[in-house]
Amino acid sequence: IPLGLACALFDIVATPFVWARRLGRRRDEPIARGRRVSIVIPSWNGRELLAELLPSLPPAIARIDGPVETIVVDNGSDDGTAEFLRAHHPEVRIVQLPRNRYFVGGVRAGVDAAHGDILVLLNNDMRIEPDFLRSLLARFGDPDFFAATARIEMTGDRVETGRTRIY
């Protein structure tokens, strides 16, 4: 049998078993015990945006089990972001960069500083709902699960992400 045909036959035979296994899993599995979550928020001159985002985090954090750390990467800001965080959000760990390393560099600095084994990356212009973290993290008790994305709803009918699955 040619290799391509053998692969197609295997796929046809295996698909029902794979789907049965997926359907048998509980979608509301709790986050695995002992897992630590790091929320990383890169920000450049985003003091005003952080003033809106950060108050939405405690209600979401309170709805999950396990330790959570929040890290804001002050990506070379000159708007007093770090001072604002120290004065108004002492629970936030600040990674202060001397210059703007742009989005990817800011995320990398936050990930490097994170202690959690689950990373939640947020933009500074987001607001999260109280059940956001619980819903996002629910599947991480499954050892085969490695990533999740959130549905981002914007003003109007625009939807940014959350419609993709990778198996």
In this predicted model, what pLDDT tens digit does every residue of 2-58 receive, in sequence order? Answer: 776 776 776 677 667 666 665 555 555 555 666 899 999 999 999 999 999 999 999
How far apart are the two ends of the chain, measured CA to CA in Å? 27
What 8-state DSSP symbol labels residue 162? -
Q: How many CB atoms lie within 10 A of CB 85?
A: 23
**Residues 79-108: tens digit of each pLDDT:** 999 999 999 999 999 999 999 999 999 999
On the question of pLDDT at 1 being above 80, the answer is no
Stated pTM of the model: 0.75
User: Which residue type sits at 76?
Assistant: G
Give the residue from 147, 161, 95 showing the smallest Cα distance to 118: 147
Over residues 99-121, mean pLDDT: 94
Report pLDDT digits (tens) over 125-144: 988 999 999 888 887 877 77
pLDDT above 90: residue 74 = yes
| Contact criterion met (CB below 8 Å) for 70 and 41 | yes
Q: How many residues does the chain have?
A: 167
